[in-house]
Amino acid sequence: MKIVITGAGGQLGKELVRILKETDYTVFPYSKKQVDIANRSQIKEMMEKVRPDYLINTAAYTQVDLCETELEKAYLINGIGTYYLAHEAREKKAKFFHISTDYVFNGEKHEPYTEEDVTDPRTVYGKSKQLGEELALATYENTTIIRTSWLYGHDGNNFVNTIKKLADYSQKIRVVHDQYGCPTFAKDVGIALKQLLTKPAGIYHVTNNGNCSWFELANEIISFLNKKVDIIPVSSKEYGLKTPRPMYSVLCSKKLNSSGIFLRNWKDGLCEYLKKEADNIDY
């Protein structure tokens, strides 16, 4: 069985390659330099060459602030590019998996979002990802959408790595305390996705168990690193973000759990991640 992974150079893509290469699947990883998902001819050529049984898309334009000014790029990659992939997957009868985000919700709910909740994104990034979801589902019935949140992985630009770097030379770090979500280790998403390969198509929320604020997450990181750094809690308004983020984007994984797939608590995932980083393990 053959699997194509687009966006294979990203933090989730790299984890998926590592995980799936240890199985009986034959993995064909493509970085964004090798295949631009916004280029339909490149996708067609790739799919014709490999003719995979599964197509997993982890490629995306995730720069939330830049998406607000680079609308065309955001919609082309996150929306139209996803459609191109879904269309080619349908043509080759390959099961299609697409990674999406908690940003498709408005963040105004006060309990975890389910797969059945109505999407209502408030940012260009969220709206472009919503478009990708809708186009993929409308194009090909054998499509699985995986929504995740607060993702971090090795060799990636993410909140955990940012706090680690800041802790090396800062005595005080200001962190938002009024936004809540599910910190999620890319490795755990990869393990869950491997199990979802044989599950029915549909929308699944895939995050580590539990939730916290960015402030709480930062404190957990600093505690593990045993650094003498003060984490200063500030409101979203005080922090002055250019683009508003969802205030509450905790995702409910009940559907995933009902399929027999369970992710560990976010603190356990974070502990493993930080330990591997500290041990300088070659990934």
* Residue numbers of the chain with a pLDDT score lower than 50: 281-283
Asked if 180 is an active-site residue, the reply is: no
Residue 200 DSSP class: P
pLDDT score recorded for residue 200: 97
Any domain includes 202: yes
CA distances from 68 to 77, 100, 125, 267 (A): 14, 18, 7, 32
d(CA 103, CA 249): 7
Any domain includes 58: yes
The pTM (predicted TM-score) of the whole model is 0.95
Any domain includes 254: yes
Give tens-digit pLDDT for 6-44: 999 999 999 999 999 999 999 999 999 999 999 999 999
CA distances from 119 to 63, 105, 123, 249, 280 (A): 20, 5, 12, 12, 40
Domain that holds residue 129: 2-151+184-208+248-263
Cα 10 → chain centroid: 10
Positive or negative, the Cα torsion across 239, 241, 244, 247?
Answer: negative
d(CA 2, CA 30): 13
| CATH number for 21 | 3.40.50.720
Any domain includes 235: no
Catalytic residue among 75, 113, 125, 248: 125
pLDDT score recorded for residue 176: 96
Total count of domains within the chain: 1
Any domain includes 165: no
Any domain includes 229: no
Residue 203 DSSP class: E
Any domain includes 161: no
Residue type at position 187 = K
Give tens-digit pLDDT for 260-281: 999 999 999 999 999 999 886 4
